[in-house]
Structure 1
């Protein structure tokens, strides 16, 4: 689908004026539309393009203005909202971890708000679009972009309440210090579900100096969830911590005894540590216990939950690690 720069440029200028994009970030989106762009064939098969912006708090957004310029397509509290703007441009704002970078201490250095990635939405599942999608890693290698595949046959890529068949992510030829943000090429129809499907985090740039610390968090969470991670688990390292955690949950009007487990871990048996504990220990470079995990997502670390946190854990859906866990 051709994209009209004359329609897109005022929308980008507005986002810059409201300090939701930097002065430089619109240049990359407009670069996607240039005929000389390395992936121009893939872009020509796109139904829409999108910008995914990371910020601290969705309440800071000028929602009234954004709604007046386009259409509010989806809002999932507490940390995700999507607007459809003119020119087949979608703008997504989120405040929870969406990238492997977000799960590595010190990997993200850009001040918020910033563009996490740009997206090219290749929705039509025909032969030509499929060929152009399959050509992406070859084109990337020829032009010195780095590429990472995500998903594939029988392994759709999930984004909270959505899924597509598969994706390629490409990273600028200038290396990890390049000013270009990652670009996502998503192939297949966008499927939306009211149920939470999980969140396959954007892969980190392979050239990032901390790339070896990246974790396939959502993939491993889903793989282990059916076995032993469902519900609320508080991992502790002493009987005193176990009693403190139990006391907090006992204070609730409706104690979650059917969903709550408190597990004592011993340094003498590190082989019994679950992956989530090992991963956080490695990332934080200190013991994460006590650690509260809800349906595989860490939400409170290095202390037992407060009563207010226990109320939230037992009354609200947990769809991502708590933002402060990885800081």
Structure 2
């Protein structure tokens, strides 16, 4: 069964129940007799005010519950009027309009006068000027219901009230279902759009998660590269420090050897030895002798430079410096 069929079934059932309750109420209602005629006395405003004030001071009352008006309520009111002129009837579980109907019915059945309806649930009644206690047939009229039938009537009345509240709600739901059935295409398109939106949201979520994974992997790679670069830099710094120490050692050794060479070459003392000693002999041509000395000194210098191993050390120094520069560039 579809939702529309279920709603139709409930609506038909509620309408049948309403008809059944109305029929049962008609059966249980007593037949009205034309014998009871209510002819209330006319009260002056002063009398009305006096009896109303007296009723508010008195504490006697008659309760009316869910059963409503039945034989026991009428009998109880007449028993109160035996000693009191007024009586208060407290009505419960009834609406203000129903309370007004109950007041009119009580005045017709008892022959009293309704003075006022206080706070919409309390009926104040006066027995009348020429009141005398009626016979038992009037105190418990047959036109009223018995206690049991009054209870059954209250049950039927409550059920009818609930069914009449439910029928409009079911009719409204049925109209909504029919309106939805007339627009199936629109509903389908809306469902498709909703599914598309949901899929787009899922894809966007997955894309964001994939981007986050890629970013995390890239960060890891960058961190690893940075660590490798730090290690390489530390190694290169150590190598540069060692190379700089070697170069400093080389230049220190060169600087230490240079002053010794200079000290040895200062003042050309070896050339002085070549001058002739002071003897009795004098050279024939002094200028030729000086020229010969200078030539000998030059030849000695060239032989000295060729024979010294300092040239090989200098070459090694430059070769080592060139290799260190190549390593730095790499």
What TM-score do the two structures reach when normalised by structure 2?
0.18
The structure with more strand, counted as a fraction of residues: 1
Relative contact order, CA 8 A, sep 6+: which one is greater?
2
Q: Mark the structure with the bigger radius of gyration.
A: 2
TM-score by length of 1: 0.18
